[in-house]
Amino acid sequence: MAWSIWNLWNALRFDKSLSETLLSTISSVVIAMAVVEVVRYIIKEEIYLPRTQITPGQKEITGGVVKIYAIIIISVGIDGLVFY
């Protein structure tokens, strides 16, 4: 995220193409937010929530994988809309 803001600042400072830099900045921020969301979910599920059973059931495993894939697919979709 900081890299995107730095590139935007440089584009404003040196009069580069603002629209292209702004789209690139938005794209990078969306992908960074998706990565943060996946990491937050993994930390919440694996570290903070205590497990009552020794091994998680298939429903719990499948639900976690589906949520991670959904976050990735939505972020890629939003990224595609930015460049459309």
CA distance 28 to 21: 11
Vertex 61: Cα angle to 41 and 31 (nearest 5) = 35
Mean pLDDT of the chain: 77
Q: Between 14 and 1, whose confidence is greater?
A: 14
Nearest Cα residue to 76 out of 33, 20, 19: 33
Give Rg (Cα) of the chain.
18
Q: Rounded mean pLDDT of 68-84?
A: 77
> What does the domain layout of the chain look like in residue ranges?
2-83
CA distance 29 to 3: 9
- For the entire predicted model, the pTM comes to 0.60
pLDDT value for 49: 65
pLDDT value for 83: 62
Confidence grade of residue 4 (pLDDT, cut at 50, 70, 90)? confident
Vertex 73: Cα angle to 70 and 75 (nearest 5) = 105
